[in-house]
Chains A and B, each alone.
Chain A
C-alpha cells in the first residue's frame, strides 16, 4: 500500500471503527483491535515509503492549496504517528481489563484524602447513586468510540498540511479528550473536565482568530505556501501571538498548566495515559509547524528564547510541585508539566544552523520518550489504584511485594523520565545538551541537569515507599496480568528506544524544516532560512498570486511541494522535498544533513574502533 491510501486509512479506519463502536456497543474492543492492527500495518508501510522516497503529499479530490485538503507525510508527522500508534496499541490492550474490573476510580481516592488536596476536593463527595448509574457498562460503552475518535483526530492532525485543517483536528482532539476525562464520573472528574473544556474552547478560539487573520493577510492556510508568503508585519505578528497563546494553553505550558493536573489525575488510567502521552503533544506539534515551517520568517531569537524560558520554568516548577503531591496520579501529572518543558527548549535551540538538527531530533526524541514512559507510569498507577484502592503515596509501602511487575515498570519508566542512559529520555537529553553546548547557550544545560535531578527525586519518592517493607503488607486485589505486562512493555520500550535514537533522528530529518535542516555555517547564525531572498518572484506578486501552482515557475515553488503533482510517476530521489531556493540545490539541501550524519557516524565508528587497536 502506498501513500495516499495509507494516509487515508490512518484517518478513515479509526473513524469508521468509532462510528461502528458507537452504534454497536458490544464490539468496541474487537473494532479497536482490528483498526489498531490495520493502522500499524499502514504506518509501517508509510514509514518505509518516506524513508525511501522522502516527503509525500496528496491533494484530496485533486483540489490543491489554497482550496483543497492536503495530506502530507513527512518525518515529523510520521514520527508522531508512530508514537500515537504505540500508545494507542498499548491502551487498546490495557483498557478492556481495566474497565471490566473497576468501579469509578476517583471515588475511593477522593474519600480518603479530601483533606489533603485541592480545594475542589472539599466539595460534595460522590454519591453512591451516581456511581451506580455511571458504572461499568456506561463507561465501556462510551470509552471505545471516544478513544477511536481521539485516535482519528490525532492521525488527522499529524497528516494535515494546512493551519485550518490543523484547527479542525485540534478541536476534535479537544472534544474527545474532555469527554474521556468526564468518563470517570464523579464530581471531581466532572469539575476537572469542565475546566479543561473551557480552557480548551478559549484556546481554540484564540487559535481560530489567528488563522482568520493569517488567511486575511496571506490568502492561504497551506503550511508550505505560508512559508513563502508570510512577511513580517503587525497583522501576522498578532496572528502568530494569538495562535501561540492558544496552543500554549492547550499544551499546558507554564504558567497555563493549571488545568492539566486535575484533568489528568482524575481521568481513568488509560485516559490519563492518552492525555499525557498524546493529547498535549498535539498543540506542541502545531506550534512546531508554525514556528519552524510556516512563519519562520517572522520569528525573532527573542521570541524563541521566551518560549524556551517558559519551558525552563515549567521544568523546574512542575518538578518541584511533583515533589509535594500527596497522590501518585497528581505527581505524575505534574511530572507531565515538567517534561513538556523540555520540548519547549527545542525552540531556542533548533532555530540555529549550528546543530539545530540535533536539538530538533533531541526535543522530539524526548517527546517520544515521555509518551512511552508516561503511559507506562499512568498504567502502573492504574494498576496500583486497582490493587490498593487508592494512590496515596505515603500509604504505598510495600507495594513492590504485591505488584512486582508494575513496580518494575514504574522504575524503568522512571529511568527514562530522569533521563538515565540508555533510555530514550537520555538520548533526547543528550542531543539537547550537545546542541546547547554547541551554541554556547549554557543556561539550558543548567536547567536540563537540574530537571533531571528533580525528576530523580520525585521518582525516588515513590520508589522509596514502594520498596519499604512493612510488617503486614496489604493484601491487594489481584491485577489482571495483561494490565501489568502492558505497562512493563511500554516501560521497556521507553528504555530500549534509546538505541533507536539514531534511526529516529534519521526519520526526523526527512523533510525537516529548512530552518532546522540547514547546515551551512557560512550565513549569519541568527538569520532565519526562509527570510533569505526568494529568487525570481518578488513578494507582492506572490502574495496576490492565486493561480494554481503548476503554472508557477519551478524555482518559486513553495517548499514541501513535490515537483510533479503525480508522485508515483517519479519515484526515487527526485521526490525529495525541495527547499526554499528551488532547483537542484534544494534537493541537495534535503539530502545533505542526513548524508553528513551518516558520514559522521561512520567516522566515529572508525575512530573509536582505532581506539584500542592502535
Chain B
C-alpha cells in the first residue's frame, strides 16, 4: 500500500527536514558559511517538495496520520487535514524565501550558526503547529515556537534586545501557561480527542455548558497572546528589535500566525463554529477582534519608525482572521481563513522591504523615506504592491479578504462589522499612503544615513529576490483568486467541509 508508506514518511519528513537541518547547523563552525547556506536551502527545498507531495496526496484522497505514545492515555498525534495544509503550505513557501533573505541579510554578522539553528527550529515548530492533530500536540509545538523564537528576538544581544525578549517571553509564557491549563482541563472533560471539523464537544454541550464557556475564554486568552489581540498585544511592537528576517517570520509565518491559526483551530475544529455560537462565546470574540483592528490601525498612524508601524499594522490585520472566525456563516469563514494566507504574503513583503531599506540605505524611519523609490525602485514596487493590498485595493489579495468579510458580516446580520472594516480600510490608507507618497514622489536626500553597496543590483540579490517573489504572490492571490490553484480555492474546500451537509 502506497498510502502507508507515504504517510509514514511525509509527516515526520516535513518536520525533520527543518529540525535536523537546525540541529546540524548548531554544531557548524561559524565560518562555514557556504555549507550552512547550502544546508539551509536544502532543508527548505526538501520541505517544499514534501509539502507538495502532501498536497498531491490529499488531492488524490489520501489520509495522512501518525501517532506515537506520549503522555499516558494521550498520544502525540500528527495529521494533515484541509486546515493544516493551508497553514503548512503558507509557512513552507514563505520560509524558503525568508531563509534566502536571511542568508543575504545576515552576511558577516556574528553568531550565524546559532541564528539559523533556531530559525530552523522555529519553522519546525510552526509546521508542527499546522500538522498537530490534537490539542496536546498543538501545545507541544506552540511552546516550542515560543522557546525557539526567543533567541532570534534577542539575537543582537543589546540591552534593548534583551528587554524586548524579556517582554516577549513574559507575555508568551504567561499565555502558554493559561493555554496549558485550558488543554489539561479540556482533556479532562472531553478525553484525548483529536481535531475534527464541526468540533468535538457535541456530547458536552448540555451538561458542561458553563465549563465550556470558561474554557473558551481560557483558550482565547492563552492563544490570543500570540495572535496579539488587544490588550495582549504589548510584546509585538517591543519585539521589533529583532533583525528584519525575524520580524518577517514573527509576523507573517510563525508566531502571530500560529496564534491566529490556533484560534481558527479552537473555533472550528475543537468547538465547532455552530456549537461556539450556541454557547454565546463568539460575539465577545468578534468585539475583541474589532477593537483590535481599530486600535492597531490607529496606533500605526502615529509611529514614525517603519517597523513599529508595520507591527501595529500586524496587530490590526491579524484580527481580520479572528473576526472571520468569530462570525458564523460560510462567507465570513472564507474571508477569515483566506486572510491567513493573504496577510502572510503581504506582511512578509512589507518586512522584506523595510529590511532592505535598513540594510541598504540605513533608513529606519518613515520620515527618512523620501525618494527611496528612485534609489530602490524594485524593492519599493514590491513594498507598494503589498501596502496597496493591505489597504484593500482590488485586484490585490487584501481586497478579496475584505469583500468576503463584508459579505459574511452582512449575511450574518452583523452590520456593525461593515463599519469597522470600512474604518479600518481608511486607517490603513492613512498610514500606508503617506509612505508611498514619500517614497515615490518626494526627492531623495543628498546622503542616505548608512548607504551600503551590494554590486550591480539596487541591493544584494538575495534581499531583492524574496520581496519580488512574495509581491508576485500577492498579485497572484488576488488576480487568480477564482482559479483552482489559489488560496481562495483551497479555503473554499475547508469551508465546504465545515458547513457542508
Contacts and interface: CB of A to CB of B under 8 A. Distances in A.
Contacts of B81: 612
B438 interface: no
A404 B146 CA distance: 20
A413 interface: no
Contacts of B169: 456, 460
Interface string B327-367: 00000000000000000000000000000000000000000
B166 A464 contact: yes
A420 interface: yes
Nearest to A614: B196
Given A467-B157, A499-B70, A612-B196, A420 B188 contact: no
Interface stretch (A3-11, A530-538, A597-605): A597-605
Contacts of B181: 433, 445, 449
A568 interface: no
Nearest to A419: B180
B148 to A, nearest CB: 10
A363 to B, nearest CB: 13
A133 to B, nearest CB: 42
A611 B73 contact: no
Contacts of A468: 157-159, 162
Contacts of A398: 157
Contact of A437 (B74, B136, B185, B191): B185
A607 B195 contact: no
Interface in A157-173: none
Interface stretch (B100-108, B170-178, B374-382): B170-178
Among A420, A505, A604, find the residue whose CB has the most chain B CB atoms closer than 10 A. A604
Main secondary structure, interface of B, reads: mixed
Interface string A421-437: 11000010011011001
Nearest to B194: A611
Interface in B74-120: 74-77, 79-81, 111, 114
Given A422-B140, A433-B184, A434-B188, A604 B73 contact: yes
B82 to A, nearest CB: 9
A604 B114 CA distance: 38
Of the four ranges (under 10, 10 to 19, 20 to 34, 35 or more), the interface on chain B belongs to 35 or more
Interface residues of A, number: 49
Given A420-B147, A464-B162, A611-B79, A501 B65 contact: no
B71 interface: yes
Given A420-B176, A468-B162, A469-B156, A607 B192 contact: yes
Interface string B120-147: 0000000000000110100110011011
A20 to B, nearest CB: 38
B65 A609 contact: yes
A542 B20 CA distance: 62
A361 interface: yes
B71 A431 contact: yes
A502 B79 contact: no
A415 interface: yes
A445 to B, nearest CB: 7
A449 B177 contact: yes
Given A398-B157, A437-B184, A427 B73 contact: no
B439 interface: no
Contact of A611 (B68, B133, B143, B185): B133
B194 A600 contact: no
A175 interface: no
Contacts of B139: 421
Nearest to B184: A433
Interface string A497-513: 01101110100000000
A505 B74 CA distance: 12
A597 B162 contact: no
Contacts of A433: 180-181, 184
B409 interface: no
Interface in B38-90: 63, 65, 67-77, 79-81
A438 interface: yes
B73 A608 contact: no
Contacts of A456: 169, 173
Interface in B191-217: 191-197, 200
A612 B70 contact: no
B192 A604 contact: yes
Given A398-B157, A421-B139, A437-B188, A408 B26 contact: yes
A607 B191 contact: yes
Nearest to B163: A464
Contacts of A499: 68-70, 76
A155 interface: no
Contacts of A193: none
B447 to A, nearest CB: 28
Nearest to A599: B73
B481 interface: no
Contacts of A445: 181
B196 to A, nearest CB: 5
A342 B118 CA distance: 31
A271 interface: no
B73 A600 contact: yes
A567 B114 CA distance: 55
A452 interface: yes
B154 interface: yes
23 contacts: A358-B72, A404-B114, A421-B136, A434-B187, A434-B188, A453-B173, A460-B169, A467-B154, A467-B165, A468-B159, A468-B162, A499-B69, A502-B69, A597-B72, A600-B73, A601-B72, A601-B73, A608-B79, A608-B193, A609-B65, A609-B79, A611-B196, A612-B80
Interface of B: 26, 63, 65, 67-77, 79-81, 111, 114, 133-134, 136, 139-140, 143-144, 146-147, 151, 154, 156-159, 162, 165-166, 169, 173-174, 176-177, 180-181, 184-185, 187-188, 191-197, 200
Q: Which 9 A-B pairs have the closest CB atoms?
A: A611-B194, A469-B157, A608-B194, A604-B192, A502-B69, A421-B140, A612-B81, A505-B72, A612-B79
Interface of A: 358, 361, 398, 400-401, 404, 408, 411, 415, 418, 420-422, 427, 430-431, 433-434, 437-438, 445, 449, 452-453, 456, 460, 464, 467-469, 498-499, 501-503, 505, 597, 600-601, 604-605, 607-614
